[in-house]
Structure 1
Amino acid sequence: MEIRDRVVVVTGGGGGIGGALCRRFAADGAKHVVVSDIDPRAAETVATEIGGTAVATDVTVESDVARLVRGTLEAHGRIDIYCSNESWDVHVMAHVYAARALLPGMLARGEGYLVGTISAAALLNHILAAPYAVTKAAGLSFFEWMAITYYDQGIRVSVVCPQGVRTAMLAQEGKRNFLTRGALDPQQVAEAVANGMHDERFLILPHAAVGEFFQRKASDYDRWLRGMRRLRGRILEEG
């Protein structure tokens, strides 16, 4: 799908990957970008920069997500692209709430694009954070289900699965060098997303190595598990 002349909504758009996506979509000629974030000041800063609209939204509250979708439809008549881009502690249900609000209108028009910012942890686990790994995997599975179910009705679906990205979340990781090594800037992730959407690829991997690791996992699961156990041991030893 081409970005030009599309109405785009980005949640978590006040910074990090979400902010980079907003800027990229605006640069690519989107008709309008709605910058949604739980932090109204952050959303307003990005929206002012790109000529978009800021909407304060708590995506953990379904009525807030419904209000975001309803308000955008009232103002612009449609939502072509919705990027469900959430912080580390907000996972599965934010995507579900978005789908509930968006799909009826998209299906009626026979067109729409749903993009979920997930994580490489959905494919490769996270050896130090069980809740993160499990909920990211659940999010990936939900987007897979939508891609299977609604493709023939004109709905396109992509998931973005990066490893480390230089955001506030990564800064909190401190000494966990397995995440910071090879980390990308949010702008690099946004570029990968734009390219992936152009090709309508389901799985967008800003870090090419993730695809290689995923193939190794699929080809020999037990060997992959042994390797992950060794990696976990090294990380714990390093402190």
Structure 2
Amino acid sequence: MPVRDKGVVVTGAGHGIGRALATRLAAEGARVVVNDLDGEAARRVAETIGGWAAPGDAATEQGVAALVETARGHLGDIDVWFGNAGIDQGRGLDADEAEWAASHEVNVMAHVRAARLLVPAWVERGAGRFVVTASAAGLLTTLGNPAYAVSKHACVAFAEWLSATYRHRGVVVQAICPQGVRTRMLDDAGPLRDLLSRDGALTPEDVAEATWQALHDDRFLVLPHPRVADYYAHRANDPDRWLGGMNKLQRQLEDQGAFR
């Protein structure tokens, strides 16, 4: 999919995967709006890539609406939306109500709210692309953080629904599902860092490259770590055996004192 002169929005683009996506797309000729809660980071990235900074909260109803309005003011039309912003909060059953609620708002409802504002116009013109940064946790699970695992499953589920519902109307939907990526989130993963990196911790630029390649064939699942496809198939083929393996990893982590 050529992006030259296309209007693109990337949320959570001040750091990590979002910054790498914005940088790669701008290098390919896209006109990029850079969104992030960290306004200084958004402005720095935008200046570096020749884009437009649109700081703000891309999760709330008002924040998404303001971002879409601002982006349309700069771009005219939004051709591609990268819902990349995400959070990792709470641990175990002790995760509190606020952490669960925040995970749902940022990792799920941000995508729902953006789609409400974007998809009708795309359907009318017969073209548009909606890309979410989910996680391998959204296809498998992750140990230690149920709020993250559940919300990323919901993120993938919403993307699946969106694709099934609108693909024949010209709306392409894709879900990026990496494992360990060298970002602040991996740095803060504590005892899970080694587990998340067992198939190699990629750079954000690696994820951006895998995504760029996936834009050309419209594949729904973008898997920067190819082994995730094998794990996903194994999980579907024999859920009990797969859960047994995950529980074994859980016990190993407990024995190492990771979850105390």
Same topology, TM > 0.5: yes
The reply to whether residue 103 of structure 1 matches residue 116 of structure 2 is no
Cα distance between partner residues in 1 of 2:216 and 2:251? 40
Deviation at 1:191, TM superposition (A): 0.4
SS in 2 for 1:175: helix
Aligned twin of 1:136: 152
Cα distance between partner residues in 2 of 1:233 and 1:28? 46
**Alignment match of 2:197 (pick from 167, 176, 180):** 180
* 1:20-66 alpha-carbon deviations (Å, 9 max, x no partner): 00000011111x10000011100000000000000012022111111
- Tell whether the 8 Å contact from 2:54 to 2:71 is kept in structure 1 after alignment: no
SS in 2 for 1:144: helix
The reply to whether residue 230 of structure 1 matches residue 248 of structure 2 is yes
Q: % of aligned pairs identical? A: 48
Cα distance between partner residues in 1 of 2:3 and 2:167? 19
Large movers: runs of 4+ above 4 Å? none
- Tell whether the 8 Å contact from 2:54 to 2:70 is kept in structure 1 after alignment: no
Cα distance between partner residues in 1 of 2:145 and 2:74? 41
Cα distance between partner residues in 2 of 1:136 and 1:152? 25
Cα distance between partner residues in 2 of 1:147 and 1:36? 24
What letter corresponds to residue 85 of structure 1 in structure 2?
N
The reply to whether residue 8 of structure 1 matches residue 8 of structure 2 is yes
- Tell whether the 8 Å contact from 2:52 to 2:74 is kept in structure 1 after alignment: no
Deviation at 1:174, TM superposition (A): 2.4
Cα distance between partner residues in 2 of 1:159 and 1:93? 15
**TM-score if structure 1 supplies the norm length?**
0.97
The alignment of Structure 1 onto Structure 2 pairs a total of residues equal to 238
Unmatched segments (≥5 aa) in structure 1: none
Considering only aligned residues, what root-mean-square deviation do their CA atoms show, in Å? 1.1
* 1:152-184 alpha-carbon deviations (Å, 9 max, x no partner): 110000000000110011111123210234111
Aligned twin of 2:91: none
Deviation at 1:74, TM superposition (A): 2.6
Cα distance between partner residues in 2 of 1:179 and 1:236? 16
Aligned twin of 2:70: 71
Cα distance between partner residues in 2 of 1:206 and 1:106? 27
Aligned twin of 1:206: 224
What letter corresponds to residue 107 of structure 1 in structure 2?
V
Unmatched segments (≥5 aa) in structure 2: 89-105
**Alignment match of 2:131 (pick from 97, 111, 115):** 115
Cα distance between partner residues in 2 of 1:107 and 1:72? 19
The reply to whether residue 191 of structure 1 matches residue 190 of structure 2 is no
Counting only pairs closer than 5 Å after superposition, residues 45-56 of structure 1 correspond to structure 2 as 45-56=44-55
Aligned twin of 1:21: 21
SS in 1 for 2:216: helix
**TM-score if structure 2 supplies the norm length?**
0.89
What letter corresponds to residue 29 of structure 1 in structure 2?
G
